[in-house]
Amino acid sequence: HAKNDGGKKVRAFEPFMHEDFLMHRQIESGLQEALANDEFTLLFQPIVDLETGKTRSCEALLRWKHPELGDVSPAVFIPVAESAGLIGDITEWVLRKACEAAAGWPEDVNVSVNISPALLKQTNLPVTIIETLVNTGMVARRLELEITESVLLDKSPHTNSLLRQLQKMGLRLCLDDFGTGFSSLTYLRSWEFDTIKIDKSFIRNIANSPTDQKIIGAVVQLAKSLQVATVAEGVETEEQLDRVRDAGCSRVQGYYYARPMSAEQASHRLASEAVPDDGTVQIVNLR
Ligand code: C2E
Ligand code: MG
Ligand code: MG
Ligand code: MG
């Protein structure tokens, strides 16, 4: 506890820390009920292929409405779910909802699901995924797993074999938040990612920052030489779009194209994209 001499200063922080702690506890206990009480929603945000102008995949993004706290950001509750051991059940739900939605989309549109690095330490992830694919009628090659590199990835033989197993199953792997981690290049060397997602912090100032432009250009060239696709995340303006296009980026995700939307809105959008230029409506979604 605070010493007498410095006590005043330390105490000033106590109410804040106490509130923080209570908030954490409230989120943790809330999360325990959230699945049962149907408090989660899954939104989908298009990732657009710059060559075709069409949606290549939609990223599933989790939303949670706490009965008292209201909307809580996944950036806040996902880490709590991880430390409370709840991320496995939540991810299972996300995978199911994401695959259920994607099973009704045109067959050339994938779905991207964020996988917490904590889950790569467990053995049952491939089993959960196989069960989900079977139960929803989704094919493995249309499921992309996004793994953030902002957490130091465990390079144990176990993580290695798990990632390889997932690839052998036909799933695609995406290295999320590229550039924010500790050893981006090491990850690229260790595992065969199909895609890297350049973190939105590099995109934010791209229109005014020659340095950021050069970094993105170099990352895209590196990725190309490794036959890895690049997604620019957080593109909000036409200027940013022009710059990432100039850099040779293959795909774009951001508010410029679309904000995260409901499953229903996503399937409407994808169906309308599937309408060819001559105006004839293609019958998609036949199952
Ligand atoms: P992420 O995987 O990097 O997802 C991209 C984030 O950028 C999303 O925030 C998305 O809404 C936001 N975004 C997209 N376009 C723009 C843009 O143009 N401008 C700005 N400013 N932001 C944009 P969101 O939905 O709040 O999610 C935050 C993070 O929470 C995600 O980052 C991901 O790491 C995590 N997360 C979300 N859903 C899940 C999930 O189902 N499972 C796990 N494990 N993590 C999740
Ligand atoms: Mg992601
Ligand atoms: Mg992330
Ligand atoms: Mg990201």
Residues of the chain with pLDDT under 50: 1-10, 285-287
What is the rounded CA–CA span in Å between residue 96 and residue 258? 23
pLDDT at 7: 45
Q: Are strands 172-178 and 251-253 parallel, antiparallel or unpaired?
A: unpaired
Within 13 Å, how many C-alpha atoms sit on residue 81's CB side? 27
Ligand 3 centroid – CA 282 distance (Å): 35
CA distances from 5 to 8, 12, 14, 139, 195 (A): 8, 13, 16, 65, 55
- 146 in contact with ligand 1, CB cutoff 6 A: yes
Predicted model pTM: 0.91
Closest Cα to atom 42, ligand 1: which residue? Answer: 114
Amino acid (1-letter code) at residue 69: L
State the closest ligand 1 atom to the C-alpha of 42, by its place in the atom list counted from 1.
41
What is the rounded CA–CA span in Å between residue 205 and residue 2? 43
Nearest ligand to the C-alpha atom of residue 146: 2
What is the rounded CA–CA span in Å between residue 217 and residue 210? 10
pLDDT at 159: 83
Angle, helix 157-168 to helix 125-136, in steps of 10 degrees: 20
pLDDT at 60: 98
Q: Which residue has the tokens 């432009």?
A: 213
Q: What is the CA radius of gyration of the chain?
A: 21
Q: What is the 3-state secondary structure (H, E, C) of 127-190?
A: HHHHHHHHHHCCCHHHEEEEEECCCCCCCCHHHHHHHHHHHHCCCEEEEEEECCCCCHHHHHHH
